[in-house]
Amino acid sequence: MNLKLWAIKNISQRTGPIQLVVVDLDQSKHYPLNFVCVLPRYFRILEKRSSKFAKLFGPKSHDMAKKLLIDASHREDDPEIKNLITKRLRAIEAEEQQPGLTVV
């Protein structure tokens, strides 16, 4: 799998939500054909309500999310998206120091 993180920004809204999605470039080069899952805000690994991301990567979810976010931060030019990526990285790093439910 050649996984990358893509940010989808709703440009019709001035402060609309930005969605971070995981894509597999081995499946296709074009979204949505390469869609794998959405990067969740909450990492619930052992709960019934676990996200698809947590189900796919299990205990390695934090490491995979961190890697995808770091790679995306190097490629991204949009300051709003970069800010969101930075916030998510900080939340994951804080969670690694204090295990429990991560809110990113």
Distance between CA atoms of 4 and 30, rounded to whole angstroms?
A: 12
> In angstroms, how far is CA 96 from the centroid of its own chain?
16
> Which of the two residues, 13 and 34, has the higher pLDDT score?
34
Segment 16-63, tens digit of pLDDT: 688 899 999 999 888 888 999 988 876 655 555 668 888 888 888 888
CA 83 to CA 92: how far, in whole Å? Answer: 14
pLDDT confidence band for 103 (50 / 70 / 90): very low
Is 39 in contact with 53 (CB distance < 8 Å)? yes
Average of per-residue pLDDT across 70-90: 91
